[in-house]
Amino acid sequence: MRTMKLTLLTAALLAAQQSTAAVPVDTEIFRATITPQGVRVHQADLQAIADANGGTRAAATPGYEASRDHIRGLVESAGYYVTVQPFEFPYFEELSAAQLEQVAPVATVYPYSDVAGFLTMEYSSAGAVTSTAEGVDLQLPPAATANSSTSGCEAEDFAGFTPGNIAIIQRGTCSFLLKAQNAEAAGASGVVIFNEGQADRTEAFSGTLGEPSVSIPVVGAAFAVGEELAAEGVVARILVDAISELRSTENLIAETPGGRNDRVVVVGAHLDSVPEGPGINDNGSGSAALLEMALQLAKMGIEPVNQLRFAWWGAEEAGLYGSQAYVDSLSARDIKNIAVNLNFDMIGSPNFVRFVYDGDGSATGTAGPNGSGNIERVFLDYFTGQGLPVEATAFDGRSDYGPFIAVGIPAGGLFTGAEEIKTAEQAAIYGGTAGVPYDPCYHQACDTYANNSDEALDQMSDAAAHALYTFAMTSSSVNGTDKGSDKAQKTADALDYQGNKLRR
């Protein structure tokens, strides 16, 4: 059997070398090289890196840098052109629970909760402040219509504000960031943004400032809390213990030396974990599968028809910042030259379902850009041929395909599930346990090498290899003439390429 495989591989190599036109896309030989054992070796390496670096591989940590350097060394040795792309991203970490209290006239400690108390605003600065509370352009009682308060939205709202006081601001109309920035410019020492007060806007809320540009503590509170603090003569205290800053990290990108650079296949997975753990399923599984595919492709020695660009994204867990930085760096021509984005984020969940991104929107109502339905069809046809049922998952913006589809690049990919609960119907189809998350260790310290399904990893890495090789070797278009919202009925090889160069 081994001799036969080598003979077939030699034939495939010769066919690829002899033709620059349409190469039949037979993925069997390549898929045979992508084994779960090979992928697991890379996951073990990532686990060892996390173990040596405080149990995490989060962006901008030594564990992430070591993960990047490890993969970089391997792909450089394999002959890829490697780029490390630096970028900055906003980082926020709350080190301990914040505190909010009324010091006078009635001593009251408000609970740190999302119901009747308060929560820290993401990207709030650290700080401990005790001062007089001062309401800013409040509507009390609240207006009948939600999101109608303009409290704190204009600099004029702070006319007469006493510098050093804590600004008590009502939610509504403009961003939390603008309210906080206006308060800081007026000399506020801290900010409480409380809910607006309509029937469905009374509880504390976990908002975000969006960036670490405010240097005073900011919290979001329930309506009742804000109403109390806005009363005449109240002295309040805020304490926020957090890190809020810009940090630097990198994407790692490895390109094949050959292949059409006007029809690039970008294959991505995020390399970073959450701070809480090593992230060996999320997303050591996708990162390891990408690495194994890159190494095996190089080992086979086949020059792809279309250039392949393997990307290990940074700071996905902080908000897709790595893939966004990459897409932001592209020119209009660069964007047009990318034919496909494939995304593999979590493909070894222990209580898995085989999810395929719903490129044509037929199952979820949310379609990808023109061509995404054809990418979906490549996956669906593959799984049908293997006798493996799958389910559609929507383009919900939770992973690194998001910036690509936002600029019109066709995308697709695989997913085995995160924190959502497996249904009884899914357990009957895929096995596993109903009533339990697809990944019980999602974003936790227990997302280790042991947090894995070999079955899922085997099936999904084979499907990933099939799609990668299909789009690497096809001389046909992904986009064709189908719209992203149409049901795609054709595979990529049945379509004509209409890119920036004439078809070879």
Neighbouring residues of 502: CB distance < 8 A, sequence distance ≥ 6: none
CA 374/CA 473 separation, integer angstroms: 16
Neighbouring residues of 413: CB distance < 8 A, sequence distance ≥ 6: 342, 343, 344, 345, 356, 357, 399, 401
Neighbouring residues of 187: CB distance < 8 A, sequence distance ≥ 6: 161, 162, 163, 164, 165
Residue with token string 């069809």: 377
CA 368/CA 479 separation, integer angstroms: 11
In one-letter notation, the amino acid at residue 54 is: G
CA 348/CA 279 separation, integer angstroms: 12
CA 362/CA 366 separation, integer angstroms: 8
CA 145/CA 221 separation, integer angstroms: 19
Helices (H) and strands (E) in the chain, counts: 13, 14
CA 12/CA 19 separation, integer angstroms: 11
203 is annotated as an active-site residue: no
User: Among 292, 316, 317, 376, which one carries the catalytic annotation?
Assistant: 316
For residue 166, report the phi and psi dihedrals to the nearest 5 degrees: -90, 120
Residue 257: is the preceding peptide bond cis (ω within 30°)? no
Extract the tokens encoding 45. 């390496």
Kindly list the catalytic residues.
Answer: 316
